[in-house]
Structure 1
């Protein structure tokens, strides 16, 4: 016999699903649509990109998310291995569907029509620029203090929110000093970078700037932004890269904010992003705008033939092949636009290779991939924020309600880092020629930012020969 709460939830479900056809944009209905689409996407990526248990991925990443406790009882997902697809329903309705395509990862699909296949991107053969990252097996730390610091990042505390660390990699002078993975993760497993993807967009925009194909300080001249008096007409690529475009902060991790709607409800996320109005004058206020990064992703597509294939060929030729990134998936949406705000995947070693590009001022094996000064600008604060362009900085240590901390507590002030939802970090410490990668699925504040900061601080102490402070 059902409880009163279950009967109430069932009534809510009936009310919601009955209105899906005619009231699809009502907030409650939109939240259910987002939940089904996001669950399908997470499970699809686990099954067909990372080759992990899709149900475990949903349990770890989706079940703890805000609001999911109210509707998880009604969610049902089906993994179709033959079609490379996952479908999720709520109370038998509100279908969310995600489909995998080679060369495009898993894409949320609206409607029943199949996605067109993508043409295969030819691999560019180049010598591995980082042979120290190409060793066949994971490299355990030789120094027991370094091993202890890495092991502590995986330890769980009874009664506390799980940290669910998936990978930790410590690289100095281009060689692995320490490496550890969760039981189901391998050195070549592509893992979600979430907003680390934005740092990759920063690099790809930099390539266009170096090639003279994009002026970072000239307004983008997007047709949707050209209405007389529209402040967006003055937005430049650099303002978007700095999150100072005037577009609003659209990510609150509540399940139905502007970003999740854009990714999981809108058939054309970039077109939706271009409709987002400015909230402040460009260049006057820091606001973390996924819409802005989605606009830049469309620019990357349009300046490379206007197709997914053109973008993939550009990214392979100009970034992934020169860095030796072979276990990387750049997700493409249904319009052929890269999901550069949130959905690029790479192995821990490939994320380290990307970090080495910024450690070495945009130069790899003597070849300059990024313009001179591009990395310096990435490390220069935006307005009063703890952010540069595409990277977070460590000159501020006060709390912030969304990132948890502006900086990385415990890490050196010179450190700068790429950062993603649920605890994805690529931390760069220039004075030690050091890159540290931490990947996981942590709902601790700021993606377990305090533990990650402690990890970085302890590794730095070992390398500098200093005493490690006891962990709290």
Structure 2
């Protein structure tokens, strides 16, 4: 009798084991999908936007790499675990970049105007003077060992002085026409986009009641709070599997709605905490106010500045991912910096409210802050008490800053814009050899 029951017992144990495995997978599936979504999006963007063939070496590492299977076909990249589990696919579109699951977009009523002049794009670059050449060599790590130079990872440097490109250099495999991802430099671009809408009267920085479902203290959050990271919404910017930032970017169709669903962790306007969620939420709000989504950034910013190669990627419902996903060539990034330097005047036409950059690069006091020198989506050198974040740089310097060493410095007193793009995960938060470059250039051009 016992012998007859043994297969039944073994079968029962097998069923329990299988149930445990399946249950464990479904429990961990949201976390795993952030890993496969990350890999699929990166493979799609690097291949189809940047036109490069090695996505695994172009963007930050993924802890699931040993078990991932990625396939790139015509206009799509798909990643799964071992070819079976947590599959995610990113689809490429020229207007919206690479989007996980593709974009569910209705016809966008906002037309994209003809692209304007791009004065930096066609400029020939004279041979830089020896001192500047030496600074570029240092920024590319020419004096380092091969391993240290690879860790530094500089891919492009462009120097613009009084509206003229005076020096530039690119790493092997990259050219002036290679779009590169700005990561969080995109947040500063969102500040400029907001200024465009303020000038046309569509938005005020004091606007509140930004989401219809916010019936509590969150209804007091303003556009300015989202620009300055003082919304008080709970957030974790740690780039790890399953955190809010990776879940937003790699497992949410409507990123703005996901951020809006976060609880309040601090009273509005009292606590400054860096949050990619705040900026992405802001662009969904701006899209709702303008009646535009996929055309919002091209129509209001890219076209007027003549940025023909730039792509602002969107989420699954067509809203731009304004925290992280602007791709542009190095000279296009420099043009954005020049636009800020000129306080929003481009080819003789005012596109931002007068004084917008002065206000945007002024740090406002809050009760508590985790961020030293963060203003309205720009990092600034001069703090409210007059001390300098980077003592070697002029006091009026401000900059964009993105993941893995993306930097764009603006020095108004020297008429200077410096762009540094690269892939520097080994730097672990250290400055990727660009502050000395900017300091030396500013000292000779002030």
Q: TM-score range by the shorter chain?
A: 0.7 to 0.9
Q: What is the CA-CA distance between 1:171 and the residue it aligns to?
A: 0.2
C-alpha distance 455-448 of structure 1, shift in aligned 2 (>3 A): farther
1:359 is matched with: 341
Q: What is the CA-CA distance between 1:17 and the residue it aligns to?
A: 7.4
Query: Where in structure 2 are the equivalents of 1:432-471 lying within 5 Å?
Result: 432-445=414-427, 448-463=430-445
2:155 is matched with: 166
Q: What is the CA-CA distance between 1:408 and the residue it aligns to?
A: 4.7
1:219 equivalenced with 2:208 (yes/no): yes
Q: What is the CA-CA distance between 1:134 and the residue it aligns to?
A: 1.5
1:400 is matched with: none
Distance 1:152 1:48 in 2: 31
Q: What is the CA-CA distance between 1:122 and the residue it aligns to?
A: 6.8
Deviations 1:86-129 (A, max 9, x none): 111112322121110120000112xxx88669789976446525
Check the 8 A contact 2:123/2:164 in 1, yes or no: no
Secondary structure, counterpart of 1:200 in structure 2 = helix
1:104 equivalenced with 2:102 (yes/no): no
With 151-160 and 211-220 compared, the bigger mean Cα shift is at 151-160
Q: What is the CA-CA distance between 1:355 and the residue it aligns to?
A: 0.6
Distance 1:367 1:190 in 2: 26
2:396 is matched with: 414
2:122 is matched with: 134
Check the 8 A contact 2:76/2:91 in 1, yes or no: yes
Return 5+ residue gaps in structure 2 as ranges: 1-17
C-alpha distance 73-361 of structure 1, shift in aligned 2 (>3 A): same
1:390 to 377, 381, 405: 377
1:41 equivalenced with 2:41 (yes/no): yes
Check the 8 A contact 1:124/1:321 in 2, yes or no: yes
1:300 equivalenced with 2:286 (yes/no): yes
Query: Where in structure 2 are the equivalents of 1:57-206 lying within 5 Å?
Result: 57-63=55-61, 68=63, 71-81=64-74, 84-92=75-83, 93-109=85-101, 124-125=113-114, 128=117, 130=119, 132-135=120-123, 139=125, 141-155=127-141, 156-160=144-148, 162-206=151-195
Secondary structure, counterpart of 1:34 in structure 2 = helix
Check the 8 A contact 1:423/1:449 in 2, yes or no: yes
Name which one, 1 or 2, has greater alpha-carbon Rg.
Answer: 2
Check the 8 A contact 1:324/1:353 in 2, yes or no: no
1:6 is matched with: none
Secondary structure, counterpart of 1:205 in structure 2 = helix
Check the 8 A contact 2:115/2:305 in 1, yes or no: no
Secondary structure, counterpart of 1:99 in structure 2 = strand
C-alpha distance 20-196 of structure 1, shift in aligned 2 (>3 A): farther
If asked which structure has higher relative contact order (CA below 8 Å, sep 6+), I would say 2
TM-score, length of structure 2 as denominator length:
0.86
C-alpha distance 88-409 of structure 1, shift in aligned 2 (>3 A): farther
Distance 2:375 2:133 in 1: 32
Deviations 1:414-450 (A, max 9, x none): 2100111111111000001110001111114465425
Check the 8 A contact 1:408/1:450 in 2, yes or no: no
Return 5+ residue gaps in structure 1 as ranges: 1-13, 397-405, 465-472
Distance 1:20 1:297 in 2: 36
2:7 is matched with: none
C-alpha distance 40-395 of structure 1, shift in aligned 2 (>3 A): same
Distance 2:99 2:298 in 1: 20
1:22 to 19, 26, 49: 26
2:13 is matched with: none
Query: Where in structure 2 are the equivalents of 1:227-266 lying within 5 Å?
Result: 230-266=216-252
With 116-125 and 93-102 compared, the bigger mean Cα shift is at 116-125
Secondary structure, counterpart of 2:443 in structure 1 = helix
- RMSD, aligned CA: 2.7
TM-score, length of structure 1 as denominator length:
0.81
